[in-house]
Amino acid sequence: MPLIAPSLLSANFLRLEDDCRMLNDSAADWFHLDVMDGRFVPNLSFGLPVIEHIRKATKKVCDVHLMILEPERYTEAFAKAGADILTVHLEACTHLHRNIQQIKSLGMKAGVAVNPHTRVELLQDVLEDIDLVCLMSVNPGFGGQAFIPRTLEKIRTLRRMIDEAGLNIHIEIDGGVTLENAPAIVAAGADVLVAGNTVFRAADPTATIQALKNLG
Ligand SMILES: O=C(CO)[C@@H](O)[C@H](O)COP(=O)(O)O
């Protein structure tokens, strides 16, 4: 069964506490928290104070996805805010290996995200140092976009790389995940599904989370 990580980017920010409670009582495994800086991606979302409050509202894993330039400037602050997994973008890091070491030295799990145009083979030399790869299946910055089909081939390639190296790394798919495409995504080798609009725009978000879990 895949891990389900609803993206709170699609939550109702006026009712964030209610949405956190709903996720706590659901089959969701992780809280996926998208941080945007308006530079790496053409959008702004939320930052440290919001994450600190969400941390207090859940015991589930806080999976923080940084869509920001120079993430090393904020790594310590996200550790203090309570991130369990901190994911940086390969495209935003000049010294990716150093950033990964920094994240792990602060006691968090380290993830690396790649944009749709980035080849997964570029991860080969950091694979043994990380806990998660986040494959963007949309261009980062916005919820509610359509899944890019080419991602399925990238998942298969990455799964092969991980298995050949004998590693245990999560493959997380982020963007455009639906009840319709989730089975193919999991069959290709992913084990973490991020879902924003599919969960939060559903008539019954709790049932939708359960359905994603069963479908995968
Ligand atoms: O990181 C991002 C967008 O940049 C994602 O986490 C989206 O928030 C996923 O939303 P949906 O595509 O599932 O609506």
Compute the distance between CA of residue 163 and CA of residue 105 in angstroms, rounded to an integer. Answer: 26
Q: Is the ipTM of this complex over 0.90?
A: yes
pLDDT at 36: 98
Residue 74 CB-half CA count within 13 A: 22
Query: If 0-12 CB within 10 Å is exposed, 13-18 middle and 19+ buried, where does residue 25 land?
Result: exposed
Distance from the alpha carbon of residue 201 to the mean position of ligand 1, in angstroms: 13
What is the best residue among 67, 132, 135, 197 to mutate for testing ligand 1's pocket, by most ligand atoms within 8 Å of CB? 197
Q: Which atom of ligand 1 sits closest to the CA of residue 144?
A: 14
Token pair belonging to 79? 């550790």
Q: Across residues 92-116, what is the average pLDDT?
A: 98
| Residues labelled as active-site residues | 34, 174
Consult the annotation and say whether 34 binds a ligand. yes
Q: What Rg do the C-alpha atoms of the chain give, in angstroms?
A: 16
* Domain boundaries, given as residue ranges, for the chain: 3-215
**Two tokens, residue 10:** 């699609």
DSSP lists the bridge partners of residue 174 as 136, 194
- In short, whether 144's Cβ falls inside 6 Å of ligand 1 is yes
CB 10 less than 6 A from any atom of ligand 1: yes
- Report the mean per-residue pLDDT for the chain: 98
196 is an annotated ligand-binding site residue: no
CATH topology of domain 3-215: TIM Barrel (3.20.20)
| 144 labelled binding-site residue | yes
Structure tokens at 141: 């910055």
| Confidence band of 152 (pLDDT split at 50, 70, 90) | very high
